Amino acid sequence: MPHTLPQLIDGQWLQSQATDLIEVTDPATQEVIALAPKATAEEIEAAVASAQKAFLAWREVPVSERARLMLRYQHLLKEHHDELAEILAQETGKTFADAKGDVWRGIEVAEHAANIASLMMGETVENVAREIDTASWIQPLGVCVGITPFNFPAMIPLWMFPLAIACGNTFILKPSEQDPLTPNRLAELFIEAGAPAGVLQVLHGGREQVDALLVHPAVRAISFVGSVNVGQHVYRTGTQHLKRVQAFAGAKNHMVIMPDAPKDQVISNLLGASCGAAGQRCMAISVAVFVGESKQWIDELAEQMATLRPGHWQDSGAAYGPLISPQARQRVLHLIEQGKAEGAECLLDGSQCTVEGYPHGNWVGPTLFRGVTTEMGLYREEIFGPVLVCMQVDTLEEAIELVNASPYGNGTSLFTRSGGAARHFQHAIEVGQVGINVPIPVPLPFFSFTGWKGSFYGDLHAYGKQAVRFYTETKTVTSRWFDDTPLEAGPNMTIQLK
């Protein structure tokens, strides 16, 4: 029988009293590999109370000690890198190489959190008035909550709790119920690194558990990554209850190809950016916009894409793995059929894909459409599968107008040899993350992950300096000290050195 995952409450791994359990399945086989509880109301209250209590002590821990905790943690993450990647690959279906990348990007944020002292430096001005000084202090908020998605079960939790905790907060993580084994292991290593009891809690469950955390009066800030509908719900509910919220939602990322771009590089980058991780990335390229004569490359793109082969995570030759669930697969298949019905030309159809030895896997083969218009469901909806749609325009200005008209603004890229075209594109485009000859421009942690428009709800983004601002408040102190010894001068005096 699969084991039931424990929850981390007040420094202890405890079995839930919940009778409602969620099956965690291997997406390549549908085998149930674990059961995740839906945390009870009492367990949620216990976790929040523990986090509140722990905050009172943790906020007083010197910032250098908090930084050293993160140094120990990133060392343990590196030691257990491959082990974490295996757990992640089994429960997500990602290839082993992709799973290792997921873990590594999270480690980079933990390393960044070890630099917390310099990130929390305030400002001072001496003599803002006569003998009066003013300083700003950066202080933690309190209890923070993270709600994370299935597609990056290592990277995205590590976006959140290391920085929040390094800032002096305590944190409650509610990971995706579809792949909670990896987040549990991340938390185990955090405790092993020396985190005090109550600084990090891990609760499992679904919408009911999320809603309880969104409205809890002790919760100060909420970080979320997931779908558009849920992101809007989290943002509305959290802000209505006077929480600070950052909610990363959907995307429709365009890659614009100029006719002067290096063709082989364009095609190679499109393959990985559209089908990597089975397209289940919020930064995946799902729209290729061919400008002018570059449209002649679409047929060659189809030939190259047809060579991509999905497979099990232990298959070193597999380009990507299965989708996360049968429901996710059915949704992608529906959008493929809808695209055909609406008149798009399907150059490569992966809807009948099978993988030998894994007849029950959530497989979708690489799929390519041409002749897609902005009115089609293939263009309007986030597909979240290995499906790429091709559109054709005559000029760079038309491409910019197309991208800017999208309600989403997570990422975009331009492939060109022209510095002038690149500068104009990066200046005019209304998207948070822009790549120039880089298909998926996810920044390293010392910059911030910056979605725009319908891809993000909130004011301050993930990791980098903006995350530190999100997880802290600024206190301004204006001070004047009186000396018992009177000054030997009158008003408007100049102090004489003796």
Q: What are the pLDDT digits (tens) for 285-319?
A: 999 999 999 999 999 999 999 999 999 999 999 99
Give the pLDDT band (50/70/90) at residue 485. Answer: low
CA 93 to chain centre: 18
CATH topology of domain 3-250+451-477: Aldehyde Dehydrogenase; Chain A, domain 1 (3.40.605)
Residue 203 backbone dihedrals phi, psi, to 5 degrees? -120, 145
Are β-strands 219-225 and 143-147 bridged in parallel, bridged antiparallel, or unpaired?
A: parallel
Phi, psi at residue 306, to the nearest 5°? -65, -20
Which residues, 6 or more positions from 50, have their beta carbon under 8 angstroms from its beta carbon?
9, 10, 11, 197, 198, 201
Fold: same for 3-250+451-477 and 253-407+411-436: no
Q: Is 369 helix (H, G, I), strand (E, B) or coil?
A: strand
**In 148-236, where do the E strands start and end?**
170-174, 200-202, 219-225
Asked if 23 contacts 32 with a C-beta cutoff of 8 angstroms, the reply is yes
What b/e string do you get for 35-51 counting C-beta neighbours within 10 Å, with b at 16 or more?
Answer: bbbbbbeebbebbbbbb
Backbone angles phi, psi at 348, to 5 degrees: -145, 120
Please report, rounded to a whole number, the percentage of residues in the chain having pLDDT higher than 90: 96
Per-residue model confidence (pLDDT) at position 492: 55
**Reported CATH class of domain 253-407+411-436:** alpha beta
**For residue 494, is pLDDT > 70?**
no
Phi first, then psi, for residue 287 (nearest 5°) are -130, 125
Residues near 39 by beta carbon (within 8 Å), at least 6 away in sequence: 7, 16, 18, 47, 203, 204, 205, 209
- Tell me which residue has tokens 């890659």: 255
pLDDT in the model for residue 282: 94
pLDDT tens digits, 334-369: 999 999 999 999 999 999 999 999 999 999 999 999
Q: What is the DSSP letter of 127?
A: E
Residue-range domain boundaries for the chain: 3-250+451-477, 253-407+411-436
Residue 487's pLDDT band (boundaries 50, 70, 90)?
low
In angstroms, rounded to a whole number, what is the distance separating the alpha carbons of residues 192 and 198? 14
Identify which of 262, 353, 259 has the alpha carbon closest to the alpha carbon of residue 311: 353
pLDDT at 90: 97
Active-site residue, from 167, 282, 346, 390: 282
Q: How confident is the model at residue 488 (pLDDT cuts 50, 70, 90)?
A: low
CA dist 4 and 34 (Å) reads 6
Rounded Cα distance, 158 and 179, in Å: 15
pLDDT over 50 at 496, yes or no: no
As a whole number of angstroms, the distance between CA 497 and CA 463 comes to: 48
- Reported as a single tens digit per residue, the pLDDT across 43-87 is 999 999 999 999 999 999 999 999 999 999 999 999 999 999 999
**Tokens representing residue 54 in the block:** 């722990």
Q: Is the pTM of this model over 0.85?
A: yes
144 is catalytic: no
Q: Any residues with CB less than 8 A from the CB of 58 and at least 6 apart, and which? A: 165, 168, 169, 170, 196, 198, 199
For residue range 146-176, list pLDDT tens digits in order.
999 999 999 999 999 999 999 999 999 999 9
Structure tokens of 380? 């309007």
The predicted-structure confidence for 373-400, as pLDDT tens digits, reads as follows: 999 999 999 999 999 999 999 999 999 9
Q: Give 243's pLDDT tier (boundaries 50, 70, 90).
A: very high
Encoded tokens for 443: 């920044």
Mean pLDDT of the chain: 96
